[in-house]
Each structure stands twice: as structure tokens, then as C-alpha cells.
Amino acid sequence: NILIKLNRETDLKLVEDVATKALAIARREYNPVFIAARTNDLKEIYKFTEYGSDRHLKLLREEKRALKEICENYDGITKKMQSISGKHMRPIEKYQEMLAAIRLEIAEVLIKRGEDTKNATEELLLSQTYYSKFPEGHNAKKIAAILKKLSSK
């Protein structure tokens, strides 16, 4: 993770290779926390190098699955992570927020690609469910504007 952060601005190919290998290890061990972290690293690269590509969208969906797994099985995953690394995980609310954000990103990519507006709308509605808990900001207004635009088409 440190190598990725230090080289993100200078050597994208190196960062992509390291993150891809780290993601392969996380997949082999089926560790949703590490999968979410490594897909997030790659997502940041693809956001600039190939935004909206099939590979970018596939990665976003993998991050969503990992975050959904964390939220649904938080207690068990927390115990597993503490026994593996001795570290404490973030509060579940942080993972719920990350899941809502990734759902919004998926919807934005689908809309940009001009495809699957039904799935984009579903992702937006699920994201909105989380963000509606907050009085203002977060992404609630943005989601409402996108949904309004989609419904007027």
C-alpha cells in the first residue's frame, strides 16, 4: 500500500502491476477487506487512464461485491482481520459509506457509457438510501439530480 501511494504520481505502470499482484493475492485468500483496498487502488489508476472501460467497470463491481460482503458479514470479518493482522477495522458505517459511493460511481460509468440505465437507476437508488440519512451534502443532492435527469429521458 505504501509503495502504491508513493508511486501513484510518478510510475503508473509500476503501481498498476503491484496493485494487480496484490489483488490476486487478496482474491486467493478471499479477503474482502484487502480486495476492496486493492480494487480501490486500481480504480484510482483507471479513473485517469481508462475511465468507463470494461476493465474499469469490472473493477468497480468487484469493489462493490467486496464492500457488500464486509457490510453483510462485518462481525465475522472483523474477528478474522484481528486474528490475521492484529489490527482493528474501521467502523461499519465507513464501509457502508464506501459502498454507497462505489454504487454512485458504477451508476455514473453506466450513464457515461449510455447503457444499462435500469441498473444505473438501481445503483443510484441503493446509494441514495444510505446518503438520505444525512441532512445535506454527501451525495444526496447529486444523486437526486441524476435520477431526475434519467427519469426525464
pLDDT tens track for 53-107: 999 999 999 999 999 999 999 999 988 886 666 677 899 999 999 999 999 999 9
Distance from chain centroid for Cα 1: 16
CB neighbours of 138 closer than 8 A, spacing ≥ 6?
97, 131
3-state SS of 66-90 is HHHHHHHCHHHHHHHHHHHHCCCCC
d(CA 118, CA 120): 5
CB 151 within 8 A of CB 125: no
pTM comes to: 0.86
pLDDT at 61: 97
Q: How confident is the model at residue 49 (pLDDT cuts 50, 70, 90)?
A: confident
Q: Are the beta carbons of 81 and 89 closer than 8 angstroms? A: yes
Residues 83-107 as b/e (b if ≥16 CB within 10 A, e otherwise) read: eeeeeebeeeeebbbbbbbbbbbbb
When pLDDT is cut at 50, 70 and 90, the band that residue 142 belongs to is confident
What's residue 89's pLDDT? 86
In whole angstroms, give the CA distance from residue 10 to residue 37: 20
Round to whole Å and give the CA distance between 84 and 93: 22
